[in-house]
Amino acid sequence: MKVETPTAHQAAAAGEFGGVFFCVAVTSRGRTDRLSYFQAEGDGDDAEEAARDTTTLCLGHAPAHHRWHHHTVAGRRTFAFLAGGEDGRTYFAP
């Protein structure tokens, strides 16, 4: 698994990376924006494990006030994660 720096934005947008790609946009106070990119690759069962690991990493970096996180696999399928409220649950929608 790789954690990419914000400068990886152009390469990621051009589709240079394969496998599972996950992006989280984090906006801090003031005029400072920070983007975090996460990329993982795997086939078969390894792809499932990579997706779970990447999702865990991404949700761990998301600010508390953000509730929706979207995840696209190889540009074909998009999944959404909804972080629950006070119950602490996270919901997954394919």
Give pLDDT tens digits for 73-84: 766 777 666 666
- On whether the pTM is more than 0.85, the answer is no
Which run of H or E residues covers position 73?
Answer: strand 68-73
Mean pLDDT of 60-76: 65
Query: Confidence class of residue 2 from pLDDT cuts 50, 70 and 90?
Result: very low
